[in-house]
Structure 1
């Protein structure tokens, strides 16, 4: 009898879906436009996908989750104050453009930044 021990071949586990590029892009895109495409459900799905992913720190997850809706609220408050204080205030068309536009642009900028940082961590 031989005293050699055989070891099983090393098995490389596949990466979880939540750490792949398509997952990151989808979650950040849902946060950016999910609120307007599928009201509220799209944003919630994006936030859940973001929080499941191991590629982001807690601070990054909080920033990506809270900043876009908060920026929409800030734009709404500022435009409300400007319109009530001035007779020649920006019209409703500017409000309709800025309230959804600012959160989407902010979410896209945050998404690009976070995606680059996440991919740099996995490289």
Structure 2
């Protein structure tokens, strides 16, 4: 007959998600749209919302970060084309502004959001 003893060196089991789940979720959010456009990102969103590691605010951040990164520069370009007049296209400053916003979003906003989600998922 064996008795169960508790080992003081062994950490208590976590009640949250498995250790790899937060990492896989953030990878799906970040890269899933490239591997399987839209479907990969949606899979990451489903994983995010079914996970127990994040607060509701963090789940909204992970859900909306990619659409905002795509929609803001894209919306600026569309507005520039619509306001530019028939056949004129978007003014040069609108194209440059959309490009700068897009690059800043990809270089600053996406990494910040994904690091935040990873840290929140690991706590």
Question: TM over 0.5: same fold?
Answer: yes
Residues 9-62 of structure 1, C-alpha deviations (whole Å, 9 max, x = no match)? 368996578341x22122112111211221111101111111122110111101
**Structure 2 match to 1:116:** 119
Which sections of structure 2, spanning at least 5 residues, go unmatched? 85-89
**Structure 2 match to 1:4:** none
Query: Of the candidates 64, 67, 73, which is equivalent to residue 65 of structure 2?
Result: 67
Aligned length, in residue pairs: 110
Q: Is residue 9 from structure 1 mapped to residue 4 from structure 2 by the alignment?
A: yes
In the superposition, the TM-score normalised over structure 1's length comes to 0.65
In the superposition, the TM-score normalised over structure 2's length comes to 0.65
State the shift of 1:109 in Å: 2.0
Contact 2:16 2:52 (C-alpha < 8 Å) held by counterparts:
no
Aligned CA distance change for structure 1 residues 105 and 23 (closer, same or farther; 3 Å) = farther
**Structure 2 match to 1:33:** 31
More displaced stretch, 35-44 vs 105-114: 105-114
Residues 79-117 of structure 1, C-alpha deviations (whole Å, 9 max, x = no match)? 2234554543437xx59xx38x84686333211012123
Query: What's the C-alpha RMSD, in Å, of the aligned pairs?
Result: 3.7
